[in-house]
Structure 1
Amino acid sequence: MSTAASPGRRGGGERTSEARPRLDRERIIAAGLALAATPGTTSISVRDLGERLGADPTAIYRHFRSKEHLMQALLDELIGRSVAEVTADPADWRERIRQLARATLRLFVHYPAVGVEATVLTTHGPGELDAVEVMLDAFSRAGLEGDDLVRHYALLASHVLSSAAGIARARGERGGTRADDDPSPWFEGPLLADPRRYPRIASVSTRLVELEDRDLFMLGVDAVIRSAEHAARG
Structure 2
Amino acid sequence: MTQGTSSRRASAGTPSGRGRLDRDTIIAAGLKLAANAGSSSISVRELGTLLDADPTAIYRHFRNKEHLMRELLDELIGRSVSAVTADPSDWRAGLTQLATTTLDLFAQYPAIGVEAIVLTTHGPGELDAVEFMLDALSRAGLTGDDLVRHYALMASHVLSSAAGIARDRSQRGVRADEPSPWFEGPLHADPRKYPHISAVSTQLTELEDRELFLLGVSAIIQSAERTASLSHSA
Normalised to the residue count of structure 1, the TM-score between the two structures is 0.90
Cα offsets for 1:116-166 (capped at 9, x unmatched):
000000000000000001100000000000000000000000000000000
The alpha-carbon deviation at position 21 of structure 1 amounts to 3.7
RMSD: 1.0
User: Aligned with 2:200: secondary structure?
Assistant: helix
CA distance in 1, matches of 2:139, 2:177: 28
CA distance in 1, matches of 2:81, 2:179: 22
The alpha-carbon deviation at position 203 of structure 1 amounts to 0.5
- The residue aligned with 1:157 is 155
- The residue aligned with 1:197 is 193
Q: Is the 8 A contact 1:72 1:121 kept in 2?
A: yes
2:219 pairs, out of 220, 223, 228, with 223
Cα offsets for 1:53-89 (capped at 9, x unmatched):
1100000000000100000000000000000111111
Q: Is the 8 A contact 1:140 1:149 kept in 2?
A: yes
User: Aligned with 1:182: secondary structure?
Assistant: coil
2:121 pairs, out of 94, 107, 123, with 123
Q: Is the 8 A contact 1:75 1:114 kept in 2?
A: yes
- The residue aligned with 1:101 is 99
User: Aligned with 1:80: secondary structure?
Assistant: helix
Normalised to the residue count of structure 2, the TM-score between the two structures is 0.90
> Structure 1, unaligned stretches of length 5 or more?
1-18
The alpha-carbon deviation at position 183 of structure 1 amounts to 2.6
The alpha-carbon deviation at position 20 of structure 1 amounts to 5.5
2:45 pairs, out of 36, 44, 47, with 47
- The residue aligned with 1:185 is 181
| Count of aligned residue pairs for this structure pair | 214
CA distance in 1, matches of 2:56, 2:85: 40
1:78 pairs, out of 76, 79, 82, with 76
> Structure 2, unaligned stretches of length 5 or more?
1-16
The alpha-carbon deviation at position 44 of structure 1 amounts to 0.5
Instruction: State, as a whole percentage, how many aligned pairs show the same letter.
Output: 74
**Which of structure 1's runs of 4+ aligned residues deviate more than 3 A?**
none
Q: Does 1:210 align with 2:212?
A: no
Q: Is the 8 A contact 1:87 1:96 kept in 2?
A: yes
- The residue aligned with 2:133 is 135
